């Protein structure tokens, strides 16, 4: 029953497994064959003949032919088998098969006689090789072994090659079944060629599933493809199965352990466990379990990702335990990058490289490197240093004597693979020396030094190329290359020449080889001062005669450092003529000037500079000055900080030209500096740090002849012109009614700061504290400007002015550098006497005319007047006193007279001012008004009361509307006199009073003349001024006038008319005339004012 | 052995106690550092595998009654034995980790420091035993031959058990020494 069971089991498996199609078709053939055989047997029985001769061979040498016995044939049947075309080839036998030697190709007739119970029957068969089947013997597995660590099965068997012709091809088919359920996991074919001898064949297979976790079964069969055999070839039977299983021998339960695999590959882990495995995980990730035989389970990991340093953990968890393994997923070593081999010293080769992509494998799994040199066969291994991650790795290889070419192969290897890089070098061309050490500098002479340094290394066979860097302060860095013969571990010497004496140099050096590969690092720097040499030139010398002409002052300039060649200690000066020589020796260095008293002026002066090594060649200069008669002073202005001087070539000048200069404000002998230029030049640019803008310098061009120097040109110049810093001082020389004469002074050179190009004179009508004065430049049309370009002109008369008018005068100087500041002054022109006379005469004439007309009218109408104003019996209705009462009751018209009151304070102030400040007024007319509003406002407290700046005409200011509010004066009068009428009459009264009060006014008319004269003469003593006294009189006169019986004033007359009546009577008396007459009078009044007030517009 | 009598046990007990307290502060850090370097599941938060034990390392867990009933000699010699085993195991774990985590100097330094402290505590305990006149157990190789050839996973587990037990034994030593301290006041 067991067999049956297995048989069923086997069949079902065969049917179920598609991969075993070969096997199943074979079995189908077999069963068909059996069926045919049975049918044939039935037929034979009928005939009583032999049937079905069938031949097979397993070695091609011998055929095994068999046939079916006829029906009824049993034991004791003898068969005679004869092969017709083979001599003596009949065999008697009692079996139904016969082994015959293989027949040659082609048809062969076989006769088989069967003898049974004296009955005989004969059968004939045609036998051909084509009908013979080749069925090889079943192969036998010699050995099946397993390498559990690698999950590899090793299979060996004997191919029995001796049985078959040489070079027959054999196909082996091997099947691997897993687990007790015999799941086919691998069906492999393996082709071999027979060698004519028996040979043991090997075949290995690596399982994806660790072999420990499941039993693996192996079987093999073969198929021989013999080329010369024309019959049918068939597979052998399967060999008996062999299996591999694992017997637990250690604690380990999970497989594989500590495996190193390539990132991205697939792997199966399994766990051998008696307990039920609940969970399997890799890293954080849970994996589905694959059940194996027993309690074993497996998991499959696809495309594994890279591991951390300590690997990826795979853990199987059971109820009360955990089992695990670690897998290391990484990469095979990258081929070493940037492999480079060089040497510092030709003793040791340093090969360095970059490992490339990290392998993610560390510790024992890390990449190991071996550097192999193929010419010598030597190698060195790299010692693992964990700290190195992706930095450059390096290996040292000891150089071999007499070998220059090195062929290095760097092998990298780790559990996942290997890689290599190669490099072929001529090591003498790959020398990168160490930095030179012990670098020293020694003097040879003042222009040459020796450099020495040490360079470790075996350079005996090559030349070194070294670069010397020479640095000098304030100079371009210089590099010089030297080639020196290499020596073994020694010092090198090289001379460096063409240096400057007494100069600090900084040297440093680096080396390479003649076949340049790399520079070494720079050596340390060394500073060195070269020794001194004699000065190469004499100092630049000039001389000046002292102002008295007796002493010669010799000047020289310190030698520049590149000509001094050392520290200059002293100078020797000598003056020699034909007869005598005077010397001054050992003048210590900081002194660059010497004075020698000389009897005559024809000497040759020579100056020599000395340092510790020796004296310079003398520089010579003649003392004589050759006079020049036609010398003009020219002007020049510089550009930037320079000034350009040009001159004509003069063939007489044989040695050189000298330009000396000095500040023009210094006294003689003056010398700031000088410059020598060769005799063939005709221009030079003078440049000096000492030049300042706005300072005037004198330049002198000397030409040199044999006998001495001749002054050729004298030039006054500025580096840059600036505007003057002061205004010209100017005064008013004379004033008339229509002109002013102004006179000014020169500006000192220091304050001019440029060449004076002219003056600008501005004038305009104006008074000191009016804000209109500001801004002369604003181009106002009423400012008149005169540009005085003749700088020798020192006076200016301004004509066509208005008389008795204040003028604002401003004067400023200018240079090409700009305008200087302003100086301003206020001047009042004298009064125009003709206009004044007219202004007086007309009102007087009008007044007289009115008086005459009035008198005539009064005379003619005296009866009517008497009736109206002075009747014998007054009409009460005409009485103004009654109307007054009425008016009071009616309204405010009467009160208008009182509206004058608010002006009273002004009047009081004006009066006080006049009496107290006459001095101020006078000083003000004189004071220069250079200062503008600011200064003015400061001075205000003092000036406050000086409302008018024209004291000479002060009483004309009274009628000035700004000042008078004239009611003020009237108010005073009103109060004193108790006259209600006075305020109303005031304008007329004033107008009229001018011409009438001739006695009071006369002094005033004289006043302008006097004051103008005195103003120029600085008339400070105001007390004496005739102009002032009348002012007081005028006031008195004003006060007195209304009552004065002497008054011929028309108003006075009206007053006398209206005096009996009340104030209101005035309105009735001359209403129309009152309106008109002030106007007409006002015209006369304003005619006078015309001169005075117009400027105030 | 007889020379032990004059020394007071209080001072070495106090020293050992101070050292044990100091060690106690670092044991959890050591365990955490160790686990972080071993990858998941060791490095997962809250990882614990009490089922993992090492036969060569005596467990620190003991029933309280048994522990309390121990006499001084027994108590000290158990601790002594445990820390002797721990020093050897810490050495082994250090070697394992220099293969598995060669690029983690912090972990290697902490393992080295723990080993040195355990050795220091051993010295202190020997001084106590000397002071108490107790025999000092001989040093023996607790690891034997089993240590070599372990798989990486076994090494990780072994290291885990060692660092865990180092903490447990340090905790126990603190209590042992506190007990002795109370018993032998200065």
Tell me which range, A439-448, A958-967, A1073-1082, is most confidently predicted by mean pLDDT: A439-448
Q: Where are the beta strands (DSSP E) in A302-343?
A: 312-318, 322-330, 337-343
CA distance A721 to A755: 7
pLDDT in tens, A698-737: 888 888 887 788 888 888 888 888 888 888 888 888 888 7
CA distance A141 to A845: 173
Of the candidates A258, A322, A363, which has its C-beta nearest B102's C-beta? Answer: A363
Of residues A179, A220, A178, the one with CA closest to residue A200: A220
- Spell out the long-range contacts of B153-157 with Cβ–Cβ below 8 A and sequence spacing 24 or more: B153/A254, B153/A257, B153/A258, B153/A313, B153/A324, B153/A325, B153/A326, B154/A251, B155/B93, B155/B96, B155/B99, B155/B100, B156/A310, B156/A313, B156/A326, B156/B38, B156/B42, B156/B96, B156/B100, B157/A324, B157/B49, B157/B52
pLDDT in tens, A403-428: 999 999 999 999 999 999 999 999 99
Cβ–Cβ under 8 Å, residues A438 and A526: no
Confidence band of A26 (pLDDT split at 50, 70, 90): low
| Gap from B31 CA to chain A (nearest CA, Å) | 16
pLDDT at site A1030: 41
Confidence band of A48 (pLDDT split at 50, 70, 90): low
Sheet of strand A437-445, all strands in order from the earlier edge strand to the far edge = A437-445, A448-458, A488-496
Confidence band of B119 (pLDDT split at 50, 70, 90): very high
Counted residue by residue, chain B has a size of 186
CA distance B99 to B85: 22
CA distance A872 to A1084: 41
Tell whether the model's pLDDT for residue B7 goes beyond 80: no
For strand A277-282 and strand A285-286, is the pairing parallel, antiparallel, or unpaired?
antiparallel
The residues pairing with A453 across neighbouring beta strands, listed in sequence order, are A492
pLDDT in tens, A661-689: 888 877 766 778 898 888 888 888 888 88
Q: Which residues from A are below 8 Å from B98, CB to CB?
A: 363
Tell whether the model's pLDDT for residue A167 goes beyond 50: yes
The helix/strand/coil state of A1032 is helix
Q: Give the residue on B whose Cα is nearest the Cα of A309.
A: B101
Confidence band of A39 (pLDDT split at 50, 70, 90): low
Tell whether the model's pLDDT for residue A186 goes beyond 90: yes
CA distance A257 to A253: 9
Contact A251 B154 (CB under 8 A): yes
Cβ–Cβ under 8 Å, residues A773 and A766: yes
Contact A309 B157 (CB under 8 A): no
Q: Give the whole-number percent of chain A exceeding pLDDT 70.
A: 72
Residues in Cβ contact with A954 at an 8 Å cutoff, skipping those fewer than 6 apart: A914, A921, A948, A1027, A1028, A1031
Of residues A297, A305, A316, the one with CA closest to residue A266: A305
Buried b vs exposed e over B4-31: b needs ≥16 C-beta within 10 Å?
Answer: beeeebbebbbbbbebbeebeebbeebb
Q: Which residue has the tokens 């690891």?
A: B143
Tell whether the model's pLDDT for residue A847 goes beyond 90: yes
pLDDT at site A102: 84
| Alpha helices, H only, A432-524 | none
Cβ–Cβ under 8 Å, residues A217 and A153: no
Q: Give the whole-number percent of chain A exceeding pLDDT 90.
A: 28
Number of helices (H) and strands (E) in chain B: give both, helices first. 5, 0
- Rounded to an integer, the average pLDDT of A509-518 is 92
CA distance A833 to A143: 161
Q: Give the residue on B whose Cα is nearest the Cα of A388.
A: B103
Q: Which residue has the tokens 């406002």?
A: A937
| Gap from B131 CA to chain A (nearest CA, Å) | 44
| Gap from A290 CA to chain B (nearest CA, Å) | 21
pLDDT in tens, A194-216: 888 889 999 999 999 999 889 99
Tell whether the model's pLDDT for residue A1095 goes beyond 60: no
Comparing A75-84, B19-28, B29-38, the range with the smallest average pLDDT is A75-84
CA distance A721 to A695: 8
Better pLDDT: A1010 or A743: A743
Angle between helices A904-916 and A967-977 (to 10 degrees): 100
CA distance B49 to B45: 12
Contact A363 B153 (CB under 8 A): no
The helix/strand/coil state of A502 is coil
Tell whether the model's pLDDT for residue A526 goes beyond 90: yes
Q: Where are the beta strands (DSSP E) in chain B?
A: none
Of the candidates A252, A254, A309, which has its C-beta nearest B100's C-beta? Answer: A309
Cβ–Cβ under 8 Å, residues A507 and A478: no
Using CB atoms within 10 Å of the CB of residue A31, give its burial: 0 to 12 exposed, 13 to 18 middle, 19+ buried: exposed
Task: Tell me how many residue pairs between chain A and chain B have CB atoms under 8 A apart.
Answer: 72
Contact A313 B102 (CB under 8 A): no
Counted residue by residue, chain A has a size of 1097
Angle between helices A1029-1040 and A904-916 (to 10 degrees): 150
The helix/strand/coil state of B81 is helix
Number of helices (H) and strands (E) in chain A: give both, helices first. 20, 62
The residues pairing with A471 across neighbouring beta strands, listed in sequence order, are A506
Cβ–Cβ under 8 Å, residues A787 and A758: yes
φ/ψ of A775, rounded to 5, equals: 75, 70
| Chain A residues whose C-beta sits inside 8 Å of any chain B C-beta | 251-252, 254, 257-258, 281, 283-284, 307-313, 315, 320-322, 324-326, 328, 362-364, 366, 386, 389
Contact A310 B100 (CB under 8 A): yes
0.90 exceeded by the pTM? no
Cβ–Cβ under 8 Å, residues A949 and A826: yes
Instruction: Tell me how far apart the terminal alpha carbons of chain A are, to the nearest angstrom.
Output: 152
pLDDT at site A274: 82
Contact A325 B157 (CB under 8 A): no
Tell whether the model's pLDDT for residue A919 goes beyond 70: no
CA distance A952 to A1019: 12
Of residues A789, A719, A799, the one with CA closest to residue A758: A789
Tell whether the model's pLDDT for residue A14 goes beyond 50: no
Query: Does ipTM top 0.85?
Result: yes
Of the candidates B41, B99, B101, which has its C-beta nearest A313's C-beta? Answer: B41
Residues in Cβ contact with A1097 at an 8 Å cutoff, skipping those fewer than 6 apart: none
Q: Which residues from A are below 8 Å from B147, CB to CB?
A: none
Residues in Cβ contact with A1000 at an 8 Å cutoff, skipping those fewer than 6 apart: A1030, A1033, A1034, A1037
pLDDT at site A38: 55
Of the candidates A251, A283, A363, which has its C-beta nearest B100's C-beta? Answer: A363
Comparing A34-48, A448-462, A619-633, A975-989, the range with the smallest average pLDDT is A975-989
pLDDT in tens, A454-486: 998 889 888 999 999 999 988 889 999 999 998
Contact A325 B151 (CB under 8 A): yes
pLDDT at site A51: 74
Kindly report the average pLDDT of chain A as a whole number. 76
Tell whether the model's pLDDT for residue A623 goes beyond 80: yes
pLDDT at site A686: 87
Using CB atoms within 10 Å of the CB of residue A1008, give its burial: 0 to 12 exposed, 13 to 18 middle, 19+ buried: buried
Q: Token pair for residue A439? A: 């670098």
Q: Is B148 on the interface with A (CB under 8 A)?
A: no
Compute CA B88 distance to the chain's CA centroid, rounded to the nearest angstrom.
Answer: 10
pLDDT at site A1082: 38
CA distance A716 to A665: 11
Question: What 8-state DSSP symbol labels residue A18?
Answer: G
Q: Is B5 on the interface with A (CB under 8 A)?
A: no
Kindly report the average pLDDT of chain B as a whole number. 89
Better pLDDT: A471 or A104: A471
Q: How far, CA to CA in Å, does A315 sit from each of A132, A207, A299?
A: 60, 21, 11
| Gap from B156 CA to chain A (nearest CA, Å) | 9
Q: How far, CA to CA in Å, does A330 sit from each of A255, A258, A266, B67, B77?
A: 19, 13, 13, 50, 47
Confidence band of A246 (pLDDT split at 50, 70, 90): confident
Compute CA A950 distance to the chain's CA centroid, rounded to the nearest angstrom.
Answer: 70
């Amino acid at each position: 029953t067991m067999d049956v069971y297995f048989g069923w089991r086997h069949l079902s498996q065969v049917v179920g497994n598609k991969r075993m199609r070969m096997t199943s078709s074979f079995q189908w053939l077999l069963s068909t064959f059996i069926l045919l055989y049975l049918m044939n047997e039935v037929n034979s029985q009928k005939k009583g003949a032999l049937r079905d001769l069938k031949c097979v061979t397993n070695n091609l040498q011998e055929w095994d032919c068999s046939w079916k016995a006829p029906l009824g044939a049993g034991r004791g049947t003898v068969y005679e088998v004869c092969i017709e075309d083979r001599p003596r080839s009949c065999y008697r036998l009692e079996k139904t098969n016969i082994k015959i030697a293989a027949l040659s190709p082609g048809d062969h007739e076989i006769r088989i006689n069967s003898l049974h119970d004296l009955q005989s029957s004969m059968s004939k068969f045609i036998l051909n090789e084509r009908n013979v089947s080749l069925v090889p013997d079943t192969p036998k597995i010699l050995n099946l072994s397993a390498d559990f660590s690698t999950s590899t099965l090793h299979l060996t068997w004997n191919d029995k090659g001796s049985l078959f012709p040489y070079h027959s091809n054999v196909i082996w088919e091997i099947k691997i079944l897993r687990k007790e359920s015999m799941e086919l996991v691998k069906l492999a074919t393996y082709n071999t060629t027979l060698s004519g001898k028996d040979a043991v064949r090997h075949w290995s297979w690596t399982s994806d599933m660790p072999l420990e976790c499941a039993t693996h079964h192996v079987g093999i069969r073969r198929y021989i493809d013999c080329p010369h055999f024309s019959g049918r070839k068939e597979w052998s039977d399967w060999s008996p199965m062999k299996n591999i299983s694992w017997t637990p021998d250690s604690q380990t339960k999970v497989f594989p352990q500590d495996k190193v695999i390539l990132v991205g590959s697939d792997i199966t882990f399994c766990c051998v466990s008696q307990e039920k495995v609940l969970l399997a995980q890799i890293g954080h990730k849970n994996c589905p379990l694959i059940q194996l035989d027993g309690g074993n389970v497996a998991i499959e990991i696809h495309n594994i990702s890279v591991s951390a340093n300590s690997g990826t953990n795979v853990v199987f968890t059971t109820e009360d335990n955990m089992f695990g393994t670690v897998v290391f997923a990484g990469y095979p070593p990258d081929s070493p990058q940037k492999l480079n081999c060089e040497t510092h010293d030709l003793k040791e080769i340093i090969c360095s490289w970059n490992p490339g992509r990290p392998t993610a494998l560390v510790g024992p799994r890390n990449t190991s490197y071996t550097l192999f040199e193929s010419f010598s066969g030597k190698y060195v291994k790299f010692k693992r240093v964990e700290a190195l991650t992706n930095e450059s790795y390096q290996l040292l290889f000891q150089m071999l004597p007499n070998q220059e070419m090195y062929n290095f192969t760097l092998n990298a290897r780790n559990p996942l693979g290997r890689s290599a890089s190669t490099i072929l070098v001529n090591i003498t061309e790959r020398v990168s020396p160490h930095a030179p050490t012990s670098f020293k500098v020694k003097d040879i002479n003042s222009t040459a030094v020796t450099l020495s340094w040490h360079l470790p290394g075996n350079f005996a066979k090559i030349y070194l190329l070294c670069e010397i860097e020479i640095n000098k302060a304030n100079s371009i860095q210089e590099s010089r290359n030297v080639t020196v013969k290499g020596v073994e571990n020694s010092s090198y010497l090289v001379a460096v020449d063409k240096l400057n004496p007494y100069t600090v140099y900084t040297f440093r050096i680096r080396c390479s080889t003649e076949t340049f590969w790399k520079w070494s690092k720079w050596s340390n720097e060394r500073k060195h001062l070269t020794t001194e040499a004699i000065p190469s030139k004499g100092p630049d010398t000039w001389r000046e005669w002292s102002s008295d002409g007796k002493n010669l002052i010799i000047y020289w300039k310190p030698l520049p450092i590149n000509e001094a060649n050392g520290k200059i200690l002293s100078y020797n000066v000598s003056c020699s003529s034909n007869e005598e020589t005077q010397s001054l020796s050992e003048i210590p260095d900081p002194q660059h000037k010497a004075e020698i008293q000389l009897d005559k002026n024809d000497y040759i002066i020579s100056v020599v500079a000395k340092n510790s090594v020796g004296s310079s060649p003398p520089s010579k200069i003649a003392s004589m000055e050759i006079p020049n008669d036609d010398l003009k002073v020219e002007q020049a202005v510089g550009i930037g900080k320079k000034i350009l001087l040009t001159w004509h070539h003069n063939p007489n000048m044989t040695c050189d030209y000298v330009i000396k200069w000095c500040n023009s404000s210094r006294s003689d002998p003056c010398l700031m500096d000088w410059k020598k230029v060769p005799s063939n030049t005709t221009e030079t640019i003078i440049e000096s740090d000492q030049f300042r803008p706005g300072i005037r310098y004198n330049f002198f061009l000397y030409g040199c002849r044999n006998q001495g120097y001749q002054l050729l040109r004298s030039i006054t110049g500025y580096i840059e012109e600036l505007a003057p810093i002061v205004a010209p001082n100017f005064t008013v020389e004379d004033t008339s009614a229509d002109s002013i004469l102004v006179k000014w002074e020169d500006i000192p050179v220091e304050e001019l700061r440029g060449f004076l190009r002219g003056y600008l004179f501005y004038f305009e009508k104006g008074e000191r504290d009016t804000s209109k004065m500001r801004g002369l430049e604003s181009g106002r049309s009423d400012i008149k400007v005169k540009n005085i370009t003749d700088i020798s002109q020192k006076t200016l008369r301004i004509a066509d002015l208005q008389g008795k008018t204040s003028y604002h005068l401003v004067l400023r100087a200018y240079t090409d550098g700009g305008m200087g500041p302003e100086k301003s002054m206020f001047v009042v022109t004298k009064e125009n006497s003709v206009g004044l006379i007219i202004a007086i005469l007309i009102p007087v004439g009008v007044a007289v005319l009115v008086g005459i007309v009035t008198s005539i009218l009064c005379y003619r109408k005296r009866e009517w007047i008497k009736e109206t104003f002075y009747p014998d019996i007054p009409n009460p209705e005409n009485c103004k006193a009654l109307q007054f009462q009425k008016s009071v009751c009616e309204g405010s018209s009467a009160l208008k007279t009182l509206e004058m009151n608010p002006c009273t304070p002004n009047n009081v102030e004006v009066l006080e001012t006049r009496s107290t400040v006459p001095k101020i007024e006078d000083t003000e007319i004189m004071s220069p008004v250079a200062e503008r509003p600011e200064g003015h406002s400061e001075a205000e407290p003092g000036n406050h009361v000086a409302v008018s700046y024209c004291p000479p005409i002060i009483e004309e200011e009274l009628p000035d509307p700004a000042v008078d509010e004239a009611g003020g004066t009237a108010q005073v009068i009103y109060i004193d006199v108790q006259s209600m009428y006075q305020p109303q009459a005031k304008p007329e009264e004033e107008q009229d009073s001018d011409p009438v009060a001739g006695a009071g006014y006369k002094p005033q008319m004289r006043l302008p003349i006097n004051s103008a004269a005195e103003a120029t003469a600085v008339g400070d003593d105001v007390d004496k001024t005739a102009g002032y006294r009348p002012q007081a009189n005028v006031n008195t006169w004003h006060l007195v006038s209304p009552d004065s019986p002497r008054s011929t004033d028309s108003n006075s007359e009206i007053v006398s008319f209206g005096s009996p009546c009340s104030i209101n009577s005035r309105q009735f008396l001359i209403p129309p005339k009152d309106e008109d007459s002030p106007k007409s009078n006002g015209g006369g009044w304003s005619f006078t004012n015309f001169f005075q007030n117009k400027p105030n517009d | 052995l007889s020379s032990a009598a004059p020394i007071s046990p209080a001072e070495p007990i106090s020293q050992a106690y101070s050292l044990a307290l100091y060690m106690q502060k670092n044991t959890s850090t050591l365990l955490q550092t160790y686990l972080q370097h071993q990858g998941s599941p060791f490095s997962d938060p809250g990882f614990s595998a009490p089922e993992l034990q090492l036969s060569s390392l005596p467990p620190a867990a003991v029933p309280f009654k048994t522990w309390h009933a121990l006499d001084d000699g027994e108590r000290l010699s158990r601790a002594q034995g445990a820390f002797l085993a721990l020093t050897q195991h810490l050495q082994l774990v250090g070697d394992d980790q220099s293969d598995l985590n060669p690029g983690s100097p912090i972990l290697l330094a902490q393992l080295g420091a723990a080993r040195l402290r355990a050795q220091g505590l051993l010295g202190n305990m020997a001084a106590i035993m000397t002071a108490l006149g107790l025999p000092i157990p001989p040093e023996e190789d607790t690891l034997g031959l089993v240590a070599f050839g372990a798989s990486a996973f076994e090494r990780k587990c072994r290291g885990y058990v060692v660092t865990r037990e180092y903490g447990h034994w340090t905790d126990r030593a603190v209590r042992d020494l506190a007990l002795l301290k109370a018993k032998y006041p200065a």
